[in-house]
Amino acid sequence: MIQRIQTLYLFIVTVLQSALLSTGIAKYISPDGNEIILKTVSFSMLLAALASFTALIPAISLFLYRKRILQMRFNIFNSILLVALQGFIVYYIIQGTDLIFAVQSVFPVISLILSILAIRSILKDELRVMSQNRLR
């Protein structure tokens, strides 16, 4: 399982999205000068649900290494959820409140790139297995 590069990609996606859940995604500076760190869970319920699903799906997908087609479908679905998650983060940025977004708000973009790389690697593996079946 660990020999394949897509396993590393999926593991990094899981770690990044778990870090997005546990760390602060934005800071709010109140008028009296106090700094309040907003975590993903307290920021928006929809944002927290999307972040938790995008952390859970690649973790499940890690153990589907024998079922490559199903693993690829899980990752395609996860990529769609990552685009939606980043869209909501951009929506909150554009909304223009007194929020200062942290570096963690870019984690879905990095995860999306790694998910696409994992999909490509899974497809290469599946094509390699299919070519071996033809020779038998």
What pLDDT does 128 receive? 85
Whole-structure pTM value = 0.83
Mean pLDDT (whole number) for 109-115:
94
Q: List pLDDT tens digits, range 15-61.
A: 999 988 887 777 766 677 676 666 665 667 888 888 889 999 999 99
Neighbour-count burial of 30, counting CB atoms closer than 10 A to its CB (0-12 exposed, 13-18 middle, 19+ buried)? exposed
Domains with residue ranges and CATH for the chain: 5-129 (1.20.140.150)
- Give the dihedral sign, CA 20/21/23/24: positive
Say if CB 53 and CB 81 are below 8 A apart: yes
104 vs 27, which has greater pLDDT? 104
What pLDDT does 3 receive? 60
